[in-house]
Structure 1
Amino acid sequence: MKIFNLSILFIILSSFSFENFDVDELEKESILYNASILAKNYSGNKDQWKHEYGLPKPKQICEKTSVWLDSYARAIITEKGKTVIETLSDPNLWNILTDIGIEGIHTGPMKEAGGIITGTHTPSVDGGYDRMSLKIDPNFGTQAQYLEMAKTIHSYKAAIVGDLIPGHTGLGYDFVLALMNYKDYSGLYHMVEIDKKDWSLLPEVSENDFSKNLSFNEVDKLKEKGYIVGRLQRVIFAEPGIKVTNWDATKKIKGTDGKTRRWVYLHYFKAGQPSLNWLDPSFAANSLIAGDIMESVGVLKNDGLRLDANGFLGIEKKPGKEKAWSEGHPLSLISTNLISMLTRKLGNFSKENGGFTYQELNLTIEDMKTMLKLGSDFSYDFITRTAYVHALISEDADFLRLNLALMNNAKISPIRFIHALQNHDEITYELVEFDINAEKEFSYKGGQYTGKEIREKIRDEDFSKILTKKTPYILPSGNGPCTTMVGLCSAALGYRDIFSMTKDQKEMVKKAHLLLTFFNAMQPGIFMVSGWDLVGAYPLKPTQVKDLIKGGDNRWINRGAYDLLGDSDQKFSKSNLPKAKTLYGSLNKQLLDPLSYASQLKKMLKIRKEYKINLAWMLDVLDVKAAPLYIATYKLQDKSLLMIALNFSKDPIEEEVDITQIKYSRAKNLMTNKKEEKSFFSSKFNIKLDGFEAKAIVF
C-alpha cells in the first residue's frame, strides 16, 4: 500500500493530500469491508442458532466465572524477547492467578488503534479506544499468539473478555473513506457535508491540522441552519484551547467523485474518535460493529466483551431546548440490545450460553436498569464506586448507604454489576444520578437534600482533601481524580510524600486498600481486580509521562507499567510506559507472606467461592449509629444469612444491631473461621471492628 511505503517518517498534513491514498487498499483494510467478509461465515449457517440470545443470563455466567483480572495491555512489562500476549498467556502466571482465585481476564483493547489521516499510522489518542482495524496491534503480538493465549486461559477454565467500542472509531481506514465520500462509508459517522455557500460559518483550519474544534457560537449557527443537532448535554474531555464543544470542522477534502467538501463531525470524546451514526439508512455502523463482534467471539475466541461508553449511541435535536438529547437515548438502548443479543447469539462461552457483555455505562440508575433488561448481562458498578471512595476519604458511609438503598429501591440486584477497584480511567465523580436529578430530594444524613446539594457536598468534601497541594501525586481530570488505589488510600490517610512512606504508613495504606477490596469482593456478581491493585502500584510522577499528559489527559499517571511475576528487568512496557513503583511487589513473593495483599485477597476469594457469595441475594443495608460503619445482609444459596460489616475509620467501632432473621442462630467469622459471640435465642448481635477492619459473618 503506497501510503505506508513513504520514506519520510513524519508527514505533516500540509504536504499530504487525500489523493495520495489508494482507495482499493484502504477498503481492504477497513473494518466495514472485513465485516462483510466475516458475515459470510454466519449468514445461512446453522452456527447462528446454537444459543439462546434474547435475555441476559447473569447468574449462569457468574456460576462459571465471577472473579476477573482487569488487565491493560499498554501497561504490561514483558521479559526480553516476549510479547505482551505471550506474557499474559504464560502458564506460570495462570497457575498463580487461579491459585489466588481469579477465574477470568479482561484484556483491555488489543486491536490496532489510532489513525492514518496523515498518510502514515498515527498512535492512539485514547489508550487504544480509537480502533482502526480488526487486526491485533503488533505492539502486543500476533493473532496466532492471541489464539494460543485464549487456548491457555480456557485450559484453566477461565474466561477471556475483550473490548468493543460501539460509539466511535479512530481516524483510520473507514473514516478516511467516509471523508472521501466513498460508497456507504460516510453513513458510518455522525458527519454532515456543509454547503460551500456556508463555509464562512466554519473556522479556518491551519495547514498542519486536519480539523478544528467548533466554538459554541459556531455550533449554534450550524444548528440554526439545520446542519447539526447543536450542543450536547455534556462536553467530555473539555480542555480550553483543545476541546470546547463536541464538534469539529475538517479542512477541504477532495472525494473519490472529484468534489471538494468540508465536513462537520461529532465526537463525544476526543477529535480522534469520530462518533458512529447508529440510525443512518445504510446501517453501516451496525454492520461495522457486527464485524468487530464476529472477529472477537468467532475468530479470537473471546467469551465476553466490554462495551465502551454504550450510553452515547443516540442523539436527537430537542425543539425549544438549548441542548440535544445525547445521553440515555432510546437508540442507545436499542443498539445495546442488538449488540448484546448478537454477542450471545454468536459466542461460544459454553454449550448453554453464547457470548456475554458488560457495559461501561455511567448514567442514572433508572437508565442502567432499563438497559440491563434485555441488553448487557452486567454493568460496571458506578453506583457504589464513588460512594465507597467517599466513605474512606470522609470516614463516613452514609453516602454509600444512600446509593445501595437507591439500587435496592430500583430492584436491581448487585449480581448485575462488575464491582471493581482500579481501572485505566480516573475515579469518576460525575455522580450522574444526582446531577440528572438535581432538583429531586433524597433522604440523606437524617434530612432531605436535593441531588445538586448532595453532589456538590460530596465533591467539595473529597476534592478539598485529595486534590490539593498536599497530594501532588493525584491530578484532576474533567470527571474526577487520577491516581491508583495506593495513591487514593495514601491521600485519604493524609500522607503527603507517598514515595517516602514509613513502614507503619505503608501498612495503613495496605489496610485501607484491603478494606476497599473486601467491600467489592464480597458483592454478588462479578468482582474485578486490576494488575495495578495486585502489585500495589503507586501513581507515576507527572514528569515521567509529561508528553502524554500535556494535552490534559492526566489518566496516564495511574497507568504505570507493572510485572505481575517479577521476572523481567525491563523498566518500560512495550508501549513505553514507565514501570510504576509498587507497594506489594510480585505475586510470587507476596504469596510467601500470609499477611500480604495477594494472600489476604486469596483468603477472601476462597470464602467468596465456598459460600457462593457471587450468587447471594441482597436483603438490606442497615441503618447504624456510627457514621463509618457499613453493614449489609445477604441471603446465601443455602438460605443462611451473611452479614458484611466494614469500618471505614482508623479507630475501633462497637455497635449492637438487631436483625430478626438471626434469631435462633450462631455466628461464625468467615475470615478467621471462628465463632463470634452471640446468644442463640437473641436477634441482637454486637459487632466489634478495629480500624479499617472488615468481617464476613454467617448466621
Structure 2
Amino acid sequence: MRLAIRLHHILLILCLALALGGCTPRRADKALPKVTTPTDLRADPGYVQWLEKQAMLRSSQELSRIVSDTGIQWLSPSVAPRPETLLQEAPVWLTLHPASVLTNDNESLFKTLLHPEFWRQSQKLGVRGLLLSPLRESGGIWGYDISGTQFLGADTVQYGFSKYAGTPDEYRRLTRAANTADAVMGDTLLPAATGMGADFFLSARAKPDYQGIYCMIDIPAEAWPLLPQITEQWQAEPVSAESAQELRKQHILPPLRLRETLDLPLEPFGWAATGEVRGIDGTSRRYVYLYHGSPSRPVLNWTDPSANARKVVSGSIIQQVGTLGVAFTGISVAPYVGIETTNPAGQKDMAIAADNARNAAATIAQEVRRYGGWSFLQDSLPLPMQQLLMREGPDVALDHAGSVSALAALLTGNATMLHTTLDIQTSLGMDKGRLVHAIMPSEGMDMSLRHLYGIADDKLPALREHYRREMMRIITASGGDILVKNNVLHTTPAGLVGLAAGIRDMRHLTPEQIAELNRGMTALAAYHAMQPGIFIVSGKELAGTLPLKQGLVPARNEDEALLQNMMGAYDLLNTARQSLITPLGMPKAQTVFGSIPEQALTPYSFVWNLGRILAARNHYKIQNATPVAVLPAKNSGTIMQLLNLPRKQGNTLMLVATNFGRQKATETVTIQSAWAKLNSRSSVHDILAEDETASPLPPDGNTLALEGKKLTLELGPWQTRAILIGDKSKFAVQPKK
C-alpha cells in the first residue's frame, strides 16, 4: 500500500486538526444578526471577522503549523514523478460525481459508499481506486450564509466537504473501507481558478493579509466609466475588448496577456469587473480581475510576492493528503497558460506559454509527493504543452487527446485522427504508462480538438477542420437536443454513442438500440483498458446515463445548464429505494444499463463485459505494457497497436485492434522478426473473445490461425479485440484468486 506517515505524526495531525478546527470551515450560525443592506453588510467589522473564519488562507495558515518544523515533509522523495508505484497499487479507478449519485433517504455520499455491497462489486469488477470529485464547498458566499454554493465543483471556495458529500469522520471510515478492499482514495485539489468565496471578498475589501491572492487590479475612480455598468455591488461582468484596450492605453491594465494572442481554443479567459465595493477602511473601490471559464471563477495569482495563492493551494494539499490520507489528487493549472505578458520579440511558442503552468504543476506535484501521495494533471491542453507540464510535475495525466480522438473515430467511423494522435504522442516522447485513459472527459466532448494545436505540421489544420465539420454533421443529423457551446458537445458517453448510432429518439429505446449502445460503449472501454497506464471508468458510464431533458433543472446561466445536462442521477447499487433526486438537487436520469449488481448477473451487459475486460487487463498487467508500434490498417475505421507485455509474461506481444466503423473489417498483420521470434510453439489467442467462463485466459476455441508470420483478423462493427502472440505456455497462467 502507499507510503504511510509515521504513527506519531498521524496522531499529531489529527489532534491538531481537531484542536484548531480549521480543516472544515463551519457554516454561519443562524443566530447572527439579520442583514439590512449589502452596503451596511460590507462595512460591518463583525461580518469581515466572520468571513475570515470561512477563508481558506486563514485555514491554510493553521494547517501549515502541522507540517512546519517537523520531519513529515521529508518522509517521501518528491522531485521526480513516480508513476510506477501508482500503477502497482491502483491501475484501475472508478470516479463518481457527488451530484449524480442517488442515496437512500438523502444520506451523504460517503455513508452510501460505506455499503459492503459497493466494495464487493468494486472488487469483483477489478477496481483498485475510488476518485470522488468535486467534494468541497463551491460557488460563492452571500451575506452570512453560504447559500450561493452550487454543485458543479469547478468554483471551490472552501477546504471543507460539502454537507451533501459527508463529514471528515465518514470520509476516514470510507478510506478504511477502501483499504480493506485493497483500494485507495482519490480527490482533486483547489484549482487555479476558484469561486468567489470569502478569500475573494476579503481581497476586494483591501484586507491587507488577503491581498495578492487573486490577479486583481484596483481601478481609479476616473476610469470607472470604462467599466461595465453594474447595479448590484457584487455582480461581476466581463470587461469589453474596447474598454480593456483603453485601460491598457492609460497604463491601468497591463499589456496583453500572451494567451490573448495565441491561436489556441482554450476556455474563455479575460478581465472582469466588480461592482463598487466598500473596503474595511471605508473607501469604495472597483476592481478588475482575471477570470477563467466565467467571471465567477477568479484566477489565483501564483507569482505574487506575498505567496498567498501558494499558501491557499498548500493548505489544500495538507488538508487532503496530510490529514485525510488521500492517495491520488487532481491538479488543474490551465488558468496559468499564457498568463504572462507578451514579450517584445513576439515569441509565442509552447514553452513560453506553458512556463507559469509548468512551474505551478511541478511545485504542487512535488508537495503532494512529500506527503506520500500521487497527483494527476486534469487539464485538457495541446499535446506539446501537456508533455512540458509532465516532465517534473504530476505523476500521471488524463489522456484527453486519446479520449477525444477515440470518440471522434466512433462518431465518424474514421480512425485517421486517432492514428495521428498516437503518432504525435510517440514523436513527443510521451510515456504512455503515465497516461490516465478514460472513455470520455467529464467536461464533455471537445470538438475543437485542441490537443492537435501547437504542432509544426501543415496537414493538421485541414484535418481538424474536416473532423469538426463531419462530427457536427453527424450529431445534428440525429436530431433531438444537441447542446454545443465553445466547440464542446455537452452529452453523456452513452448519449454520444447514441448519436453515433443515428438514434433520434433516445427516450424510447428498443432492445436492438440498447444492444447497439452496449456494443459501442464496450468497444470504447476495451480500447482504453488495453492501453498502458491507468484506466478510469465513471459511474455514469457504468449506468449508461442519458442526457437530462433541457429545462428540467433550474440554472442560473447557460453554462450551468449545459453542465447539468450531463449530470443526471443514477442508482449505483439499486438501494436508493424511491429516491428520484439527489441531496444536491439533481433528478434521476434515464439509464440504459441499470445498477451494478443487476448488470453483474446479466451476461453480456456492459458491466459484465467490462468485468471480463478488466480481468484480462489486470491478469496480463497491461498497465505495464510497452508500446511497440501503431500498425497500418487497410480499413479507415480500424486502429491496430502492438504492445510488449511485461517480462513476467514471457516474450509475448499483444495486438490491440478496434474497428470504429459500422461495417465488418478484415485486416492482415505481418509479424516482423524485430517484434517477436516466432517458432513452432507460437500461437495466437484472443483474450477478449466471449465465452461462458468470463476468464481472462484464452479458451482453446479462441486460437487464431497464424500462417507463417501473417495473421488475418476479422473485426465486427464497433469491436475491440486483444490478441496474444507468443508461446502459450508463457502466458496461459491461472490468475490469482
TM-score (norm. length: structure 2) = 0.87
Partner of 1:108: 133
Partner of 2:286: 262
Q: Do the aligned residues in 1 keep the contact of 2:258 with 2:342 (CA within 8 Å)? A: no
Partner of 1:667: 684
Distance in structure 1 (CA, Å) of the matches to 2:311 and 2:58? 9
TM-fit CA distance, 1:195? 1.8
Partner of 2:667: 655
Deviations 1:464-514 (A, max 9, x none): 11145x332431121311111111111101110011121111101110111
Partner of 1:624: 633
Q: Do the aligned residues in 1 keep the contact of 2:259 with 2:339 (CA within 8 Å)? A: no
Deviations 1:140-175 (A, max 9, x none): 221211111111112212111111133122111111
State the AA in 1 paired with 2:492. Answer: T
Moved more, 58-67 or 645-654: 645-654
Distance in structure 2 (CA, Å) of the matches to 1:293 and 1:524? 28
SS at match of 1:559: coil
1:411 equivalent to 2:429? Answer yes
Q: Give the alignment partner of residue 637 of structure 1, picking from 638, 646, 649.
A: 646
Distance in structure 2 (CA, Å) of the matches to 1:221 and 1:19? 35
Distance in structure 1 (CA, Å) of the matches to 2:268 and 2:368? 36
Question: CA 1:199/1:521 → structure 2, altered by over 3 Å: closer, same or farther?
Answer: same
TM-score (norm. length: structure 1) = 0.91
SS at match of 1:296: helix
TM-fit CA distance, 1:38? 0.9
Q: Do the aligned residues in 1 keep the contact of 2:268 with 2:294 (CA within 8 Å)? A: no
Q: Do the aligned residues in 1 keep the contact of 2:409 with 2:660 (CA within 8 Å)? A: yes
Q: Give the alignment partner of residue 687 of structure 1, picking from 713, 717, 734.
A: 713
Question: CA 1:234/1:55 → structure 2, altered by over 3 Å: closer, same or farther?
Answer: same
Moved more, 321-330 or 298-307: 321-330
1:608 equivalent to 2:617? Answer yes
TM-fit CA distance, 1:67? 0.7
TM-fit CA distance, 1:655? 1.9
TM-fit CA distance, 1:458? 0.9
Q: Do the aligned residues in 1 keep the contact of 2:80 with 2:392 (CA within 8 Å)? A: yes
Partner of 1:349: none
Structure 1: gaps spanning 5 or more residues = 347-353, 443-448
What aligned pairs does 1:432-451 form with structure 2 within 5 A after superposition?
432-437=450-455, 440-441=456-457, 449=459, 451=460
State the AA in 2 paired with 1:576. Answer: G
Structure 2: gaps spanning 5 or more residues = 1-25, 690-697, 726-737
1:212 equivalent to 2:237? Answer yes
Distance in structure 2 (CA, Å) of the matches to 1:372 and 1:605? 27
What aligned pairs does 1:37-76 form with structure 2 within 5 A after superposition?
37-76=62-101
Partner of 1:296: 320
Distance in structure 1 (CA, Å) of the matches to 2:448 and 2:410? 18
Q: Give the alignment partner of residue 499 of structure 1, picking from 507, 520, 523.
A: 507
Deviations 1:671-690 (A, max 9, x none): 23135555667221101112
CA RMSD of aligned residues (A): 2.7
Distance in structure 2 (CA, Å) of the matches to 1:549 and 1:176? 22
SS at match of 1:80: helix
1:189 equivalent to 2:214? Answer yes
TM-fit CA distance, 1:244? 8.1
Partner of 1:351: none
Deviations 1:331-374 (A, max 9, x none): 1111110100000001xxxxxxx101001122222211111111
State the AA in 1 paired with 2:82. Answer: K
SS at match of 2:362: helix
Partner of 1:374: 392
State the AA in 1 paired with 2:572. Answer: L
Deviations 1:258-312 (A, max 9, x none): 3221111111122221110001010110011000000001122211111134462
1:174 equivalent to 2:199? Answer yes
State the AA in 2 paired with 1:55. Answer: A
SS at match of 1:56: coil
SS at match of 1:657: strand
State the AA in 2 paired with 1:598. Answer: V
State the AA in 2 paired with 1:588. Answer: P
Q: Do the aligned residues in 1 keep the contact of 2:658 with 2:720 (CA within 8 Å)? A: yes
TM-fit CA distance, 1:393? 1.1
Q: Give the alignment partner of residue 526 of structure 1, picking from 503, 522, 534.
A: 534
Distance in structure 1 (CA, Å) of the matches to 2:708 and 2:418? 28
Moved more, 182-191 or 303-312: 303-312
Partner of 1:316: 340
Q: Do the aligned residues in 2 keep the contact of 1:422 with 1:485 (CA within 8 Å)? A: yes
Moved more, 74-83 or 99-108: 74-83
Question: CA 1:637/1:551 → structure 2, altered by over 3 Å: closer, same or farther?
Answer: closer
SS at match of 1:589: helix
State the AA in 2 paired with 1:696. Answer: A
Partner of 2:18: none
State the AA in 2 paired with 1:609. Answer: N
Distance in structure 2 (CA, Å) of the matches to 1:102 and 1:12? 52
TM-fit CA distance, 1:413? 2.2
Partner of 1:138: 163
Moved more, 550-559 or 674-683: 674-683
Partner of 1:355: 373
State the AA in 2 paired with 1:643. Answer: L
SS at match of 2:188: strand
TM-fit CA distance, 1:85? 1.3
State the AA in 2 paired with 1:596. Answer: S
Matched residue count: 677
Q: Do the aligned residues in 2 keep the contact of 1:359 with 1:376 (CA within 8 Å)? A: yes
Question: CA 1:501/1:12 → structure 2, altered by over 3 Å: closer, same or farther?
Answer: farther
Distance in structure 1 (CA, Å) of the matches to 2:412 and 2:507? 23
SS at match of 2:217: strand
Distance in structure 1 (CA, Å) of the matches to 2:706 and 2:36? 78
TM-fit CA distance, 1:659? 2.0
Deviations 1:410-442 (A, max 9, x none): 1212211110124531111232243434xx435
Partner of 2:405: 387
1:584 equivalent to 2:597? Answer no
TM-fit CA distance, 1:643? 0.5
TM-fit CA distance, 1:132? 1.4
SS at match of 2:479: coil
1:276 equivalent to 2:285? Answer no
Q: Do the aligned residues in 1 keep the contact of 2:397 with 2:435 (CA within 8 Å)? A: yes
Q: Give the alignment partner of residue 696 of structure 1, picking from 703, 722, 727.
A: 722
Distance in structure 2 (CA, Å) of the matches to 1:139 and 1:280? 34
Q: Give the alignment partner of residue 565 of structure 1, picking from 560, 563, 573.
A: 573
State the AA in 2 paired with 1:530. Answer: S
Distance in structure 2 (CA, Å) of the matches to 1:637 and 1:549? 50
What aligned pairs does 1:112-131 form with structure 2 within 5 A after superposition?
112-124=137-149, 127-131=152-156
Question: CA 1:89/1:653 → structure 2, altered by over 3 Å: closer, same or farther?
Answer: same
Moved more, 492-501 or 26-35: 26-35
TM-fit CA distance, 1:117? 4.2
Amino-acid identity (%): 26
